[in-house]
Structure 1
Amino acid sequence: MRKFFVRHKLSVDDITHLSDSDSEIVIAEKVLKIEDPIEVETYEKRYLAQIIDIKKNSVEVMILEELGDRESEYIPSITIVQSLSNDSKFNF
């Protein structure tokens, strides 16, 4: 099952469009057809969706059910380093 990312929040029975780049890929490859199931992922959750329309420039999908929270495999570690300047360096 193909997975696509949508930047905004969704809920069951919502109808949304895939991003322009994702739509271009689906239209160009001609592998997915209307009524094919796909997985849609947002920042918070994963959903099972179905393609309901393929137009010239966009792909429209309907959210069928929620698959659960998004699982992030990579949690970055960030270290912040700050230097303290010496007053003598700023005397002119």
Structure 2
Amino acid sequence: MADRPHQDTRTGPADGAADGAGWQPPEHEVEPAYQPVQINRADGSWAVGRINGWWRPSAGERAWCRVRALGRGEAPTWVPFDPERLLLLPACGT
């Protein structure tokens, strides 16, 4: 994946960040997922969450994921996947 931010000129936010404005990619392009994550928040705190969808706009562009923090009543939000902010956890196994 590329290191530059994704800017979707079709339906995504023009500034390259999902900002809670209800933006989402076309549903037929979303891959369902069940991926536990640790979310590194802007204030430096960590929260447990889940990625429940992936969207890959095109080859070579950053993937986006629909992520939700658990236990806080927050709605899922689409964000560009950033391994510095979203630490993937094992989904199963020991």
Q: Which of the two has higher C-alpha Rg?
A: 1
If the length of structure 1 is used for normalisation, what is the TM-score? Answer: 0.32
If the length of structure 2 is used for normalisation, what is the TM-score? Answer: 0.31
- Bigger helix fraction: 1
